[in-house]
C-alpha cells in the first residue's frame, strides 16, 4: 500500500490543540507519517508581505517536541521538514526517524549533508532534475518525491516525465494541489510514497498553506480509493 505523509505545515498555526487534531486526522486515515515544518520566518520571509503572519506561525522547538511526543503517544511517527542546521540537531536529540528536505532546499549543502550524516531515510522533494541535484537524487538513503513547488500550482505546471523518474527510484509524489487528480495518478502509476498537505474543515483559514491543502473528507476519500485500487 502507498505510504502517505500527512503534511501539516503551517495549518496548526502555532496552536497545540489544532496540531493534535491534525495528527489525529493523519493517524485515523492510516498515514505513515505526520509532518511539520521547522523554518525561521527571518530566513524565509524577512522583508516580505508575509513576514508578520509567518512569524506568528513559526514552529519553535518546545511546541515541536510536544507534537512529536503526542504522535508517539497515539502511535504515529511525527517528522519535520528541516530548513536550518539546528533543526537537525533538535530532531536527532528527540529521536526523529525520517527527515524531509523541501525542493527549495535540495541544493542547500548544510541541510543535505546534515540529514545524510544521520544515516536515516531522507525524503526529498524535487521540482525537476538539475546537475546540482544528481548526487542527492541517486543516494540510496534518499526517497525522492516529485512536486510542483508553486503555492498553489497551475495544472499546466505538472510534468509527467519528472514524476516517472521519481517512481523509478521507488519514490513518489508531493501534492500542492487542492484537487486529488495528480495524487491519484501518481498512486495508479505505482508511487510508493504520496505527501499531502492536510487541513481542518475550520480554523485554518488564515494559514499560508490553505491554498495547497486538502480537507479531511478528501483525505478519507483518497485513502479509500487507494485501498480499492489495491483490491
Residue 49: predicted pLDDT = 81
Domain map (residue ranges) of the chain: 3-230
pTM metric for this prediction: 0.94
Rounded-to-integer distance, Cα 202 and Cα 112, Å: 36
The domain defined by 3-230 carries CATH number 3.20.20.70: yes
pLDDT attached to residue 208: 82
Instruction: Indicate the DSSP class of residue 164.
Output: H
Give the pLDDT mean for 134-162: 88
pLDDT tens per residue across span 56-68: 888 999 999 999 9
Go through the chain and tell me how many residues it has. 231
Distance between CA atoms of residues 40 and 140, nearest Å: 29
224 CB neighbour count, 10 Å cutoff = 11
Give 3-37 pLDDT, tens digit per residue. 999 999 989 988 999 999 999 999 999 999 999 99
Cβ contact 55:10 at 8 Å: no
Over residues 84-92, the mean pLDDT reads 97
Span 180-229, pLDDT tens digits? 999 999 999 999 999 999 999 998 888 888 899 999 999 999 999 999 99
Give residues with Cβ within 8 angstroms of 87, minimum separation 6. 38, 80
Q: Per-residue DSSP letters for 168-215?
A: HTT-EEEE--SSSHHHHHHHHTT-SEEEEEB--SSS-TT-GGGGG-B-
Confidence category of residue 47, pLDDT binned at 50, 70, 90: confident
Average pLDDT over residues 141-164: 92
Amino acid at each position: 500500500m502507498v505510504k502517505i505523509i500527512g503534511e501539516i505545515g503551517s495549518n496548526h498555526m502555532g496552536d497545540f490543540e489544532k496540531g493534535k487534531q491534525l495528527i489525529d486526522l493523519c493517524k485515523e486515515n492510516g498515514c505513515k507519517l505526520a509532518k511539520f515544518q521547522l523554518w525561521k520566518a527571518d530566513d524565509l520571509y524577512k522583508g516580505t508581505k508575509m513576514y508578520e503572519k509567518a512569524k506568528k506561525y513559526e514552529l519553535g522547538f518546545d511546541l515541536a517536541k510536544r507534537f512529536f511526543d503526542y504522535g508517539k503517544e497515539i502511535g504515529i511517527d511525527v517528522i519535520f521538514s528541516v530548513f536550518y542546521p539546528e533543526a537537525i540537531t533538535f530532531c536527532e536529540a528527540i529521536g526523529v526517524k525520517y527527515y524531509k528536505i523541501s525542493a527549495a532546499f535540495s541544493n542547500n549543502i548544510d541541510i543535505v549533508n546534515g540529514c545524510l550524516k544521520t544515516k536515516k531515510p531522507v525524503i526529498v522533494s524535487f521540482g525537476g532534475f538539475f546537475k546540482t541535484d544528481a548526487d542527492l537524487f541517486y543516494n540510496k538513503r534518499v526517497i525522492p518525491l516529485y512536486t510542483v513547488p508553486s503555492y498553489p500550482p497551475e495544472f499546466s505546471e505538472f510534468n509527467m516525465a519528472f514524476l516517472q523518474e521519481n517512481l523509478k527510484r521507488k519514490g513518489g509524489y508531493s501534492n500542492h494541489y487542492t484537487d486529488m487528480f495528480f495524487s491519484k495518478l501518481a498512486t495508479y502509476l505505482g508511487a510508493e510514497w504520496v505527501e499531502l498537505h492536510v487541513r481542518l474543515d475550520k480554523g485554518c483559514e488564515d494559514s499560508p498553506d490553505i491554498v495547497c491543502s486538502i480537507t479531511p473528507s478528501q483525505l478519507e476519500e483518497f485513502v479509500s480509493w487507494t485501498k480499492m485500487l489495491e483490491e
